[in-house]
Copies of this chain bind each other. A is one copy, B any other.
Amino acid sequence: MTVAAVGKARRGRKARKADRQATDFTMLPALQNQLPRTEPMTKDQVARIDAASMDILEEVGVVFRDPIALEDWRKAGADVRGETVHLDRGLVRELIATIPECFTYTARDPQKSLPFGKDHAIFVPMTGAPYLRDLDDRRRAPTLSDLADFHKLSHMLPALHSSAHHIVEPMDHPISHRHLRITYSSMKHSDKTFMGMTTSPKNAEDVIEMCRILFGAEFLETHAVVTGNCNGNSPLVWDETMLGAMRAFSKANQPVLCSPFVLGGANTPASVAPTVAQLNAEALSALAYTQVVRKGAPAIYGHYLSTVSMKSGAPMAGTPEISLMNFMIGQMARFYHVPWRSSNTLGGAKTFDAQAGYESATTLMAVLLSGCNYIWHSAGWNEAGMHCSMAKFVVDAEQCAMGYRMAEGIRWDDFDAALQAVRDVGPGGHYLGHPHTLENFQRAFFMPELFDNNSIEQWQAEGSVETAERAIAKARVLLDAYEEPCLNPATEEALRDYISRREREIPAADALNQTH
């Protein structure tokens, strides 16, 4: 291609400038991960983990602390002894075979619906923080209004595909009513997909009811619109609360993350491969149970992974073993043809300092190269999940956008045109004015907005602002620019009515004991 030909396709200087100036809130499509996966296990080693997990399921068994689940397992043909369910590998394989390898997440804005599974991945913000670091970098108890702010940011930040649920715990609201307000906030402040509270079976049912109001009861039967999470009690225990909540989601044909909660070395063996074998057994037992509840219901191989400091007992993140375990778990999930979830940007730093950056970036790279599908905790996590940082939230989201770009892989469509530029420029020249550069520079190389690459003199002239402060300023700008997505007034009223009714029904004091 000649220079003239390259130049012809080029847009005007003005149009390019306008592009640069407008902040784009358009959500990125679901990531289609083009990178080869990092697979440190041979086929034989994958088979070895699988065999070890199946041995555990058959011989050691898994405790289901829930009478309904035990009865379900009996009917499904499992060997139930007391609360311990011994699962034959044939039964496990048969059950998990009906889990969809991929499906679509439907958002209330159909433009924001997302293909999910296999190569497709989505970024979901952190959840569950009992504190936040706010726009003044104060660590304090969050309110419903803080939660709304996080939902607004999730709505606006292009790399985030979900508004999740309780990014922070709204402490100003009775605990027994929170799930209703949290769900409403996710639904109202964003039109992206979201998560549903699984703090009790009844709460999970409330979430499903609210989804029926938002999407229609019939629609829900055939469309995944909300994600639940059920944590295991490693080693090898699932409790009544989680199992009841799981049933509520699976019965409604909504995806649920089956997440063993690994504190490596404390509730698993002090070794990488055996930890994965145990975690894999735990995940399989829950994945299988979802299919006992409803054959064909979407379910996601999950896990929360940390390693434990043997000096202090503290959970650690960004460690080499977590990266290795992510690589391995990706291999196992693909071996079983099920989508899987990991955790992104975890870390134990108390402030948004260098530690937070190292830990988060290490984890992001690991989960992308692991081929993870449901990339949870992708923004805001700090202090081992004890607080969500407003500053870190926006930086993490930009890091996700950068990881997204990396995982999109290499562009080849302009290769010949660019080689012509090499000829045009020749030895010792420069490319800044070349038509190929003018045409491509905006998308060629990611320009992070929240990282400062200027000279120290420029940086000082602009007030010597460090990352955390820069990020807070950005969060303020975003929140100022927020526009609420349109929600049908009748739907909104129906949601409000449902919440009012349930808040009358549920005693505000009866906080923690709502199982059937």
Contact = CB atoms under 8 A, between A and B. Distances in A.
A304 to B, nearest CB: 15
A42 B437 CA distance: 26
Interface in A332-356: 348-356
Nearest to A455: B314
B270 A312 contact: no
Nearest to A418: B274
Interface centre among A34, A404, A431 (most CB of B within 10 A): A431
Contacts of A315: 453
B410 A446 contact: no
Nearest to A471: B354
A139 B459 CA distance: 14
B310 A447 contact: yes
A106 interface: no
Contact of A235 (B41, B403, B422): B422
Interface string A404-425: 1110011110110011011101
Interface string A27-50: 000000011101111000100100
Interface string A428-447: 11111010110011101111
B319 A437 contact: no
A310 B445 contact: yes
A392 B442 CA distance: 32
A174 interface: no
A265 interface: yes
A270 B310 contact: no
Contacts of A444: 264-265, 270-272, 307, 321
A98 interface: no
Interface in A453-468: 453-456, 458-459, 464, 466-468
A71 interface: no
B358 A437 contact: no
Contact of A361 (B362, B369, B441): B362
Nearest to A327: B35
A320 interface: yes
A256 to B, nearest CB: 21
A365 interface: yes
A125 interface: no
A235 B422 CA distance: 8
A478 interface: no
A278 interface: yes
Interface stretch (A54-62, A189-197, A221-229): A54-62
Contact of A320 (B316, B402, B427): B402
A143 interface: no
A52 B419 CA distance: 8
Given A36-B40, A277-B419, A410-B324, A269 B358 contact: no
Contacts of A56: 419, 422-423
Nearest to A55: B419
Interface in A352-399: 352-362, 364-366, 369, 383-384, 386, 392, 395, 399
A309 interface: yes
Contacts of A453: 309, 312, 314-317, 348, 384
Interface in A259-298: 264-274, 277-278
A499 interface: no
Contact of A452 (B266, B355, B412, B459): B355
A48 B416 CA distance: 10
Contacts of A468: 353-354
A328 interface: yes
Contacts of A270: 418, 431, 436-437, 440-441, 444-445
Given A40-B409, A445-B319, A446-B321, A271 B350 contact: no
B421 A274 contact: yes
Given A269-B422, A310-B441, A310-B442, 5 more contacts: A272-B410, A320-B405, A349-B467, A354-B467, A355-B466
Interface of A: 20, 34-36, 38-41, 45, 48, 52, 55-56, 59-63, 84, 139, 233, 235-237, 264-274, 277-278, 307-312, 314-321, 323-324, 327-328, 348-362, 364-366, 369, 383-384, 386, 392, 395, 399, 402-406, 409-412, 414-415, 418-419, 421-423, 425-432, 434, 436-437, 440-442, 444-448, 450-456, 458-459, 464, 466-468
18 contacts: A34-B40, A41-B410, A56-B419, A267-B431, A270-B440, A271-B415, A273-B415, A273-B418, A310-B445, A320-B406, A324-B409, A349-B452, A355-B357, A355-B452, A357-B361, A361-B361, A365-B366, A386-B456
The 9 closest A-B pairs by CB, nearest first: A357-B357, A274-B418, A320-B406, A361-B361, A365-B365, A236-B427, A270-B444, A307-B445, A348-B453
